[in-house]
A and B are shown apart, each in its own frame.
Chain A
């Protein structure tokens, strides 16, 4: 009898059930859509308004997520607190994501310092980037790498299988958005994340009607 394995499965099933409402998909999809305001560079130059609008968009997405969880999901699905092991996993995720971001930034700082100290290297890097007009490609690759890897780590440590799909979509959205500077890509890709989320949300509402008042076990 593999009681240990079964108990793990019970815990995993209970944990994954918290993703059934599709709200994470909707939230992350909206963030991708908001990205276009942030990254899009109009011909007349980048405006700080873009940053403010993008932040407001993310704030709105976050508020919708919070309200959805509080007023729609929790009354239907109920509340559960997982054991310390899960909380530890969340901390590990955050630490690793910060580690990856810092690692990439340290790499960039290292390259910059190297180019300051060694003019030959600087000239070579500049020449290489300018020759093939690669600057934008490099920025797009680094930006998408940071977002994509972070999302993959979140999906892995949060036990969120759909997160891998979202990670690939985010990776693609950031890359295309920076490289091609076309707002249509994050909007379409954000839509491709939102769509399954909407389907799950509607299914969730059908499967989990509001329980009767007595179910609160007063």
Chain B
């Protein structure tokens, strides 16, 4: 933090979680952050991502432990409910905190 010069601390940008920073994943995480869980179709509709795209991002988030995938059956149809893990919530909060800090430090 360089309060003396009044310029923003750009090093905070370098420390951003790149997994969260990617726009599509950020949209998915923001949506899952505000709900308890959502299924694949709902996420596709809300984010405007294609199935393939969303699936790829989901896999990355799941590998990082940010996302929990719960598979079940609704009648005879398979249903995949997705929810953020505590780690994912923490990562999203941390990302938001860092971004907020960077933009707050920016001179207007």
Closest residue on chain B to residue A212 by CB atoms: B51
Q: Which residue of B lies closest to A210 (CB)?
A: B41
For the complex of A and B, 4 pairs with smallest distance between CB atoms: A78-B42, A78-B41, A11-B34, A217-B40
* Distance (whole angstroms) from the CB of B102 to the closest CB of chain A: 9
- Contact assessment for B103 and A1 in the assembled complex, using a CB-CB cutoff below 8 Å: yes
In whole angstroms, how far apart are the Cα atoms of A12 and B43 in the complex? 15
Q: Is the interface of A mostly helix, strand, loop or mixed?
A: helix
Q: List 5 A-B contacts (CB under 8 A).
A: A14-B31, A14-B34, A75-B41, A79-B79, A215-B40
Chain B interface main SS type: helix
Known contacts A74-B74, A215-B44, then 6 further A-B pairs from the complex at CB < 8 Å, ordered by chain A residue: A1-B103, A78-B38, A208-B45, A214-B51, A215-B41, A218-B71
Interface residues of B (CB under 8 A from A): 30-31, 33-46, 51, 55, 58, 69, 71, 74, 77-81, 96, 99-100, 103-104
* A10/B39 contact (C-beta < 8 A), A3-B99, A17-B46, A208-B45 known: no
Partner among A10, A77, A83 whose Cβ is within 8 Å of the Cβ of B30: A10
CA distance in complex: A82, B37 (Å): 7
Q: Annotate A1-17 by CB proximity to B: 1 below 8 A, 0 otherwise.
A: 10100111011011001
Q: Which of B34, B35, B45, B79 contacts A77 (CB 8 A)?
A: B45
> In this assembly, does A43 line the interface, its C-beta being within 8 Å of a C-beta of chain B?
no
Q: How far is the CA of A13 from the CA of B42 in the complex (A)?
A: 12
Residue-wise interface mask of A (203-218) relative to B, using a CB-CB cutoff of 8 A (1 in contact, 0 not) = 0000010011011111
B84 shortest CB reach to chain A, Å: 11
| Complex Cα–Cα for A212 and B40 (A) | 12
Binding site for B on A (CB under 8 A): 1, 3, 6-8, 10-11, 13-14, 17, 74-84, 208, 211-212, 214-218
* In the complex, chain B residues whose CB is within 8 Å of the CB of A75: 41, 77
Report yes or no: B80 in contact with A77, Cβ–Cβ below 8 A: no
| A7, A13, A77, A80 interface centre (most CB from chain B within 10 Å) | A80
Which residues on the A side are within 8 Å of B43 (C-beta)? Answer: 78
Contact (Cβ within 8 A) B80 A216: yes
A6, A76, A216 interface centre (most CB from chain B within 10 Å): A216
- What CA separation (Å) do A3 and B104 show in the bound complex? 12
Query: When the two chains form their complex, are residues A81 and B35 in contact, meaning their CB atoms are under 8 A apart?
Result: yes
Contact A1 B99 (CB under 8 A): yes
Contact A217 B36 (CB under 8 A): no
Q: Which residues of B contact A218 (CB under 8 A)?
A: 71, 78, 80
Given contacts A214-B51, A217-B80, contact A78 B99 (CB under 8 A): no
- CA distance in complex: A18, B103 (Å): 34
| Interface hub of A10, A13, A75, A215 (most chain B Cβ within 10 A) | A215
Write the nearest CB–CB distance from A138 to chain B, whole angstroms.
46
Query: Looking across the interface, which residue of chain A has its beta carbon closest to that of B58?
Result: A217
List of B residues within 8 angstroms of A8 by Cβ: 34
A6 to B33, CA, bound (A): 12
Output the residue of A79, A82, A214, A217 with the most chain B CB within 10 A: A217
- Chain B residues positioned under 8 Å from A216 (CB to CB): 40-41, 77-80
